[in-house]
A and B are shown apart, each in its own frame.
Chain A
Amino acid sequence: MNNRLCSPRTRKLKSIRPAAPVQLPALALFVACLALPGLSWASWASDAPDWLRAQISAPLPAHDQKTDAVMVYSESVLTVQADGRLKRLDRRAYRILRPEGRAHGLVRVYVDSQTRVTGLHGWCIPADGKVFEVKAKDAVESAVLGVDDGYLMSDVQTQSLQIPATEPGNLIGYEIEQELHPYAVGDEWDVQETVPVRETHYTLQLPSGWSYKAVWINSPEVAAVASGNSRWNWVVTNLEPVKIEEDMPPWRGIAARMVVSLIAPGGQELGFRSWHDLGAWYLHLASDRRNVDTEIKQKVAALTVGIPGMLGKMRALAAFVQNDIRYVGIELGIGGHQPHPAAEVLAHGYGDCKDKVTLLSAMFKELGIESYYVAINTTRGSVTTTTPPNLDFNHMIIAVAVPAAASDPALIATIAHPKLGSLLFFDPTDSLTPFGALRGGLQANFGLLISPDDGELVKLPQLSSDSNGIHRVAKMTLDADGTLHGEIQEIWSGDPAARQRFALRATTQDIDRIKPAEKVAAEALSSFHFEKAAIRNLHDAQRPFEWNYSLVADHYAKLSGGLLLLRPRILGSKSSALLEGEEPRRQPVEFDGPQRDSDEFDIALPAGFSVDELPPPIHADYGFALYQSESKVVNQVLRYTRSFEIKQLSVPTDKLDELKSLYRLIYGDERRMAVLKPAGS
């Protein structure tokens, strides 16, 4: 893998998959181009190649009725040339089984400065045997579209080829030939797919005197068969698909694949032999980028003047890069990995993630503080200790050596490094997470720490669940007619606060600011209105975000047969329908991060009513999560308290029934009613 750092859309250079949706507004034009009259010429004498024809009567791998297509054959051939350049041939054949399988007929191949497509063909063999054929000249080129997320320019492009007649029952196939000159020489074979695979082949052709090393991930090793002349073949048959499910680990983190390292004559391993190698390569790439010039010195001085203490100065610099340097991605050639000089980033007032890290690192240097690049994949599980060293990173953050003078309990995203001391991890691209903390997706994730002496894979800290959560306190009064009214305060911290800030900062009119609170209320209350509402600390990420509002909910308690039925849980839902699907779940469930939510709801009961029944208390500790709730009445006030803590970031498949039970338990608790009866009855 060879992802670019800081790219909002990760790419797979060697991946050949049905297209993901393209961004609007050019989508319509893109689709129109695929079917544009005159764009694709009929080849009336077309014929399919033998490798595809051989699949016409091939048996299908095991599949269920929801399977939209099966891969009946795939073949990848990597030919290494003596100068280290690579040629790659990919062939795929699918049998389309359902209308949804038509998507497999859109072939997409990625191209950039290191990759050239030298051949592109697609075929369809329908039931009547009259072959359709399309070629490279029929393909549509497109780039990453839009600038809304600040991704301004990249040389990554795609070539998309629509295979005709991709109808259920038809056999389709395609062939892609590429010449590659990657920064890190090596290869990966994605053995497993999201559809069942009947037969998949990988062939490695090396120059004389070369050798290889193969590492299998998420799969037992499959032995290669040597066919002479430095040629090796691997074959795997009848593979189950990786089922894509909501909140699952990253696809590549669980799919079977083989990573191939190449060893030149003399035993020199190409590519990155170790994380150390990769770190050294990057350090060289960024060697002079953190130089401090006069403008940076002046800016640091201006930003820190009058601020007492080292920590305050560090926070001021971090906030400047977080908030005042706008995110703009311009990634051409090596610019996908190499940052712009810090001075340039400051002068432009914009940059991408590695640019922001570069500038902040330079500014810290001016304060006398050491800091380091940390390359990371924002999807936890994509890179682990079992992953061979590669460039499968898509983001850059910073690790700061915290000086003793700046030590503070608020700096929670830290680890004690054996050589570098206390290291604080910080993401200056994330303007919503304060200096000292780390958002959930980066926690307990592995990043490549690039220090002058080493490149090493380190595990980032997992923060306490207390640092993330929503705490709601309600002081309400219930009238005898069922109307509920009172004040609610919500204190949001960590990731939930970041999400709330993100939603609110994106609003373009004041009347939309109440929208998130309205949504929560509407989820729980059939009829309500806000009497007043206020937000605190929207722009101050160092402090918890707060909602304070007063609310009136008509018909909240229901009168029935003289009884007043009242739900102690006023609003906010912790339950989930994630595991309520009819098909058995196959993948573990991944949480964004640790979290602890709590509610304290006081409801003053109307005079003339007494409590007849209260919901039972709940204490459910499943190890990975803890849920507790209790209703009690003191002095005619019904007090409902509850807490929900996510303690572990992942729930394995053998615990999913427990997670489902927990969600159902919470769902029941959230709906349960207290019964009030007329006093004295």
Chain B
Amino acid sequence: MGRHLRTPGMALLTLGCAWVVTACAEDWLPIAPDELKLAAEPAAPGASAIYLYSQVDRNDNDPSERNYERIKILTEDGRKYADIEIPYLKGTESVGDIRARTIRPDGTILNFDGKVFDKTIVKARGVKYFAKTFAIPDVQVGSIIEYRYRHDLASGYVFNSHWILSQELYTRKAKFTLRAYGQYALTWSWPLGLPEGTKAPEEHNGTIELETANVPAFVEEDDMPPANELKYRVDFIYSDESPGKDVNAFWKRFGKQSYRRVNDFIDERRTLGQAVTQIVAAGDPPLVKLQKLYARSQQIRNVSYEHDKTEQETKREDLRAVRTSADVWNRGYGDGLQVTWLFLGLARAAGFQADPVLVSARDQYFFNARVMNSAQLNTNVVRVKLDDKDLFLDPGAAYTPFGMLPWSETAVKGLRLDKDGGDWLAMPLPAAGDSRVERHASLQLSADGELQGKLTVTYSGLEAAWRRANERDDDDTERRQFLEDQVKYAVPIGSNVKLTNTPDWSSSAPTLVAEYDLRVPGFAESAGRRLLMSVGLFGNAEKHMFERAARVHPLYFEFPYQHDDDIAIELPAGWQVSSTPSKQAKEGDVLAFSSAVDQSGSTLHLRRSLTVNIMLVQVKYYDAVRGFFQTLRASDEQQIVLTQDKEAEKH
């Protein structure tokens, strides 16, 4: 579609081919009367515009695309779709044969004869990213606009491509064709399936075709899985040899090749053996040995975690290319993948049964082996057998505590490599209790309702890891601000939060501990002779979760987590507890919370625990999740009632 740049995924040199005109429209298609009359699309209530028709005809032999769009404008806001921008790479690509017109609601037609501008978007040495822009005239609510153009792609190359069926607008009908380049093997897949009623793409004489209809508009929501996982699309991947139709055979072949490459990288027995003797003591128990190897690997300079450098900086630093694990060890640097393979080599040199595993991180897309796209296995893990248990470790993921994987590598499939090609393993998803935020506070309440005292927050597991990774490039001032903001986000507005310790930012220790002075003015509110105080001091963190009643996409949590609060509040002299709310609890395997208030002398103990033990929640369960958080918020708002002693009241 004209408004989006299609990013080439892969480029292979072609030998030059003849352009074959495919099923592209040389003339405007007829307008149906119902298209003119259309005031709203029943299948897309509230839509500002819809695609009545869309067509993309691609030819990879003489690389080019012909695009045709017909859009019905349904609201004033929808008129923005008449401002067209078609990006292209000047010098290697061109955009031409642009035609456009407006069909007014009364059926009269206004052909576009205005100026098409050639706009610089980004121009640098070797890169000229331009856009053809134009405005279709006299567009009103009820108008139909249509435009078509030819986009010539870089000649001499063939690119992987996609048909994106889920567009920003509802699509009544769309047609796609791809004339494949015959010199390379082409596979195509539709990992999310196809819209209801859409037949699978079919190949006729070297051209793959697909027609679809009634495709819902794609909408963005908070807490949703990666957008790529939610859009209907067809992916086309070229390779220099056919992957064949047997999925297992494809991955076995890939596994064997990858295993050889990994083995070549770690086959440095002498160097790694000597390294092991420096890292571990002979008498160390196996687990301790492994922990030491892991910790030492993480001390290697991991260039994947360094901020981008200019060409000059890179050249001046002159880091020589790393080709083997011995290079990583001897030179003291490597990228994240290389550090993890170094650890594999060290573990084997120390006598552990350790295997390389290639996994696909789930932060951009969800891996599907049937697609047979080996590039999606984009990161690595080491599986170590210890006491008949599998440990999955990735020291190349900085700040990840021993025994855990970064969240994007959890709950995904991984290809364990061996000489026979290997097998698929499931990466573990840590339990909620492995990634916790524990808040311990010891506070005094004053008679004017102010809370003041000490707060200690302990972040553990992945809660500690992401914070360390997030702040790795920042200085102490920024990190202090970050941690203070983390607490401020959870407590009432106007609270004063001061970090008082120096947290350990550099290690991948299981916990990150932050200590604060905390002051919350007006936490207890005066109500005549009473003071009223809510039980949820840190409840603001969940206050805005799932506000909306409607939901389109599944919910996606990066990792399970647990929040535990233990707050001791010393009451002001002369005040006593009149009433406390009863214990609140909602038990469940995936979502649970409990909240309790106890009194011991003049001290109140507020305990609250929240467990979120889920990763992906289907839409049909959204109401239940929303209801759970509403109940949690209601629980946080339960009130403790304090009254003055009779004696104190007299004064």
- For A148, list chain B residues within 8 Å (CB): 80
A561 partner, pick from B5, B126, B547, B641, beta carbons under 8 A:
B641
Rounded to whole angstroms, the CA-CA distance of A565 and B633 in the bound complex is: 16
Chain B proximity mask over A502-523: 1 for CB below 8 Å, otherwise 0:
0001111111111100110010
Closest to B89 in A: A29
Whether the Cβ atoms of A577 and B493 lie closer than 8 Å is yes
- Of the candidates B119, B122, B478, B549, the one having the most CB atoms from chain A within 10 angstroms of its own CB is B122
Whether the Cβ atoms of B639 and A26 lie closer than 8 Å is no
Q: Does A554 contact B (CB under 8 A)?
A: yes
- For B477, list chain A residues within 8 Å (CB): 65-66, 98
8 A Cβ contacts from A335-359 to B: 347-350
B122 partner, pick from A137, A141, A513, A530, beta carbons under 8 A:
A141
- For A615, list chain B residues within 8 Å (CB): 527
Chain A proximity mask over B277-321: 1 for CB below 8 Å, otherwise 0:
000000000000000000000000000000111111101100000
Whether the Cβ atoms of B493 and A26 lie closer than 8 Å is no
Q: How far is the CB of B318 from chain A (nearest CB, A)?
A: 11
Whether the Cβ atoms of A328 and B77 lie closer than 8 Å is no
Q: Does A100 contact B (CB under 8 A)?
A: yes
Stretch at the interface among B130-138, B176-184, B248-256, B426-434: B130-138
Q: Does B30 contact A (CB under 8 A)?
A: no
Interface range on chain A: under 10, 10 to 19, 20 to 34, or 35 or more? 35 or more
Q: How far is the CB of A211 from chain B (nearest CB, A)?
A: 40
Q: A42-B315, A150-B83 are in contact. Are A330 and B76 (CB under 8 A)?
A: no
Closest to A147 in B: B83
Chain A proximity mask over B579-597: 1 for CB below 8 Å, otherwise 0:
1110000000000000000
Q: A511-B550, A518-B549, A671-B525 are in contact. Are A30 and B122 (CB under 8 A)?
A: yes
Chain B proximity mask over A540-571: 1 for CB below 8 Å, otherwise 0:
00000000000000110010111101000000
B124 partner, pick from A33, A130, A554, beta carbons under 8 A:
A33
Whether the Cβ atoms of B549 and A514 lie closer than 8 Å is yes
- For B46, list chain A residues within 8 Å (CB): 507-513
Q: Does A449 contact B (CB under 8 A)?
A: no
Chain B proximity mask over A122-162: 1 for CB below 8 Å, otherwise 0:
00000000101010011111110111101011000100001
Q: Does A529 contact B (CB under 8 A)?
A: yes
- For A100, list chain B residues within 8 Å (CB): 478
Interface range on chain B: under 10, 10 to 19, 20 to 34, or 35 or more? 35 or more
Whether the Cβ atoms of B124 and A140 lie closer than 8 Å is yes
Whether the Cβ atoms of A509 and B549 lie closer than 8 Å is no
Q: Does B121 contact A (CB under 8 A)?
A: yes
- For A25, list chain B residues within 8 Å (CB): 4-5
Whether the Cβ atoms of B123 and A141 lie closer than 8 Å is yes
Q: A148-B80, A152-B117, A157-B120 are in contact. Are A164 and B475 (CB under 8 A)?
A: no
- Of the candidates A100, A350, A506, the one having the most CB atoms from chain B within 10 angstroms of its own CB is A350
Q: How far is the CB of B85 from chain A (nearest CB, A)?
A: 5
- For B122, list chain A residues within 8 Å (CB): 26, 29-30, 33, 140-142
- For A29, list chain B residues within 8 Å (CB): 121-122, 127, 129
Whether the Cβ atoms of B310 and A328 lie closer than 8 Å is no
Closest to B496 in A: A582
Q: Does A244 contact B (CB under 8 A)?
A: no
8 A Cβ contacts from A16-52 to B: 25-26, 29-31, 33-42
8 A Cβ contacts from B453-493 to A: 473-475, 477-478, 493
Q: Does A612 contact B (CB under 8 A)?
A: yes
Rounded to whole angstroms, the CA-CA distance of A168 and B309 in the bound complex is: 14
Rounded to whole angstroms, the CA-CA distance of A615 and B543 in the bound complex is: 25
Whether the Cβ atoms of B217 and A509 lie closer than 8 Å is yes
A152 partner, pick from B5, B44, B135, B543, beta carbons under 8 A:
B135
Q: How far is the CB of A41 from chain B (nearest CB, A)?
A: 8
Whether the Cβ atoms of A431 and B76 lie closer than 8 Å is yes
Rounded to whole angstroms, the CA-CA distance of A137 and B581 in the bound complex is: 70
- For A672, list chain B residues within 8 Å (CB): 525-527
Rounded to whole angstroms, the CA-CA distance of A30 and B313 in the bound complex is: 19
Chain A proximity mask over B505-542: 1 for CB below 8 Å, otherwise 0:
00000000000000001100111111010000000000
- For A162, list chain B residues within 8 Å (CB): 310
Closest to A102 in B: B307
- For A40, list chain B residues within 8 Å (CB): 310-312
Q: Does B373 contact A (CB under 8 A)?
A: no
Q: Does A652 contact B (CB under 8 A)?
A: no
8 A Cβ contacts from B113-161 to A: 114, 117, 119-127, 129, 133-135, 137-140
Contacts A/B (CB < 8 Å), 11 sampled: A35-B308, A35-B311, A99-B478, A140-B123, A141-B122, A146-B85, A147-B83, A328-B135, A510-B45, A514-B549, A529-B549
New A-B pairs, 5, CB < 8 Å, besides A26-B122, A509-B217, A563-B579: A25-B4, A29-B129, A134-B312, A147-B80, A527-B631
9 shortest interchain CB distances as A-B pairs: A561-B579, A526-B633, A613-B528, A510-B46, A527-B630, A522-B547, A349-B138, A555-B634, A141-B123
